[in-house]
C-alpha cells in the first residue's frame, strides 16, 4: 500500500481491500467457533460471520504489521485475526487488544497464550476513550516511543479495528483515527440506525439517536481528510477509512 506507484490509485485501495478474497477459507476458524458458542450462552453479541470473514479478507490483503483492536470482548473477532497468523497468512509485529472489562482481559490473555502470541501481542484493560487521551497526552509531551512514554500503545498502527456500543461508535472512530499510520486503515461496522419515533424520555433510545447523528457527522467531516468506503454485508456494513 505504501509503494509510490500505487499513490495515483489511492482512492481505489479500500474497494480492493474490502472485496472478497477467494483464497481465504469460508468456514469459521475452530477456536472462533468455540468462542462464538460461549457468546451465545453468555448472551453477548458479536459481528456477523459475513462481516468477520470480509474483515479477515481485508487484513490478509493489507498485511499490516501493527494491529490495534478496540473492544475485543472475549476474543471472538480476535480469534479470526489470530487465525491469519496460525495459517502463516500474516505476521504481526504488534497486536494490541483493548478491552474495558478486567474479567474479559483474563480470557483474552488465555487466547493469546493458545496462539503463542504473548511475545508480540498484549491486552490493555481500560476505558478506550481514556486510554487514547492518555496516549495522546504522552505523545505531545515526549518524542520517544510509546514504551518509553509510559503507554502501552504503539506510536501508530497500520490497521485499527474499532468495536464498542453502537451509540459510541462514532466517538471511538474519531478518537482512534489519530493513531492511524498515514498508509493505515481503520475498520468498523456501521452503528444501528434508530427506527420509528423515539420519546425524549427514552434515555436508551435518545442515546441511539444521538450516536447515529454523530456517525453521520463523522462520515461528513472525515471525507476531506480520508477516503471512506462502505461494504454492505449480511448482518452489517463494514466501513473503512484510509488517510488521503
- Give yes or no for residue 6 having a pLDDT over 50: no
Model pLDDT, residue 79: 97
- Give yes or no for residue 40 having a pLDDT over 70: yes
Domain span at residue 156? 4-190+199-243
Cα–Cα dist 220/211, whole Å? 14
pLDDT digits (tens, 9 = 90+) for 167-218: 999 999 999 999 999 999 999 999 988 776 777 777 777 787 888 899 999 9
Contact 231, 61 (CB under 8 A): no
Give the start-end residues of each E strand in 135-199. 157-162, 180-189
Contact 66, 94 (CB under 8 A): yes
- Give yes or no for residue 37 having a pLDDT over 90: yes
Minimum mean pLDDT among 70-74, 102-106, 169-173, 227-231: which range? 102-106
State the total domains in the chain: 1
Model pLDDT, residue 8: 46
Cα–Cα dist 243/202, whole Å? 37
Residues 6 or more apart whose CB falls under 8 angstroms from that of 55 comprise 47, 77, 80, 81, 161, 187, 238
Residue 171 CB-density burial (10 A; 0-12 exposed, 13-18 middle, 19+ buried): middle
What CATH number has the domain bearing residue 184?
A: 3.40.50.150
Amino acid at each position: 500500500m505504501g509503494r509510490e506507484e500505487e499513490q495515483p490509485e489511492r482512492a481505489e485501495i479500500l474497494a480492493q481491500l474490502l472485496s472478497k478474497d477467494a483464497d481465504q477459507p469460508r468456514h469459521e476458524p475452530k477456536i472462533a467457533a468455540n468462542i462464538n458458542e460461549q457468546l451465545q450462552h453468555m448472551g453477548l453479541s458479536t459481528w456477523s460471520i459475513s462481516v468477520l470473514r470480509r474483515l479477515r479478507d481485508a487484513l490478509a490483503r493489507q498485511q499490516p504489521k501493527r494491529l490495534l483492536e478496540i473492544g475485543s470482548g472475549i476474543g471472538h473477532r480476535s480469534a479470526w485475526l489470530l487465525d491469519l497468523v496460525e495459517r502463516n497468512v500474516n505476521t504481526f509485529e504488534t497486536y494490541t487488544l483493548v478491552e474495558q472489562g478486567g474479567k474479559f482481559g483474563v480470557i483474552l490473555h488465555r487466547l493469546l497464550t493458545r496462539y503463542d502470541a504473548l511475545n508480540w501481542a498484549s491486552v490493555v484493560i481500560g476505558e478506550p476513550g481514556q486510554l487514547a487521551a492518555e496516549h495522546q497526552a504522552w505523545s505531545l509531551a515526549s518524542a520517544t516511543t510509546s514504551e518509553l512514554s509510559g503507554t502501552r500503545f504503539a506510536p501508530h498502527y497500520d490497521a485499527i479495528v474499532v468495536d464498542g456500543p453502537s451509540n459510541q461508535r462514532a466517538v471511538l472512530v474519531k478518537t482512534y483515527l489519530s493513531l492511524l499510520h498515514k498508509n493505515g486503515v481503520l475498520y468498523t461496522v456501521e452503528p444501528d440506525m434508530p427506527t420509528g419515533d423515539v420519546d425524549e424520555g427514552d434515555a436508551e433510545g435518545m442515546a441511539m439517536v444521538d450516536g447515529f447523528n454523530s456517525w453521520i457527522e463523522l462520515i461528513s467531516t472525515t471525507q476531506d481528510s480520508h477516503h471512506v468506503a462502505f461494504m454492505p454485508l449480511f448482518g452489517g456494513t463494514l466501513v473503512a477509512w484510509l488517510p488521503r
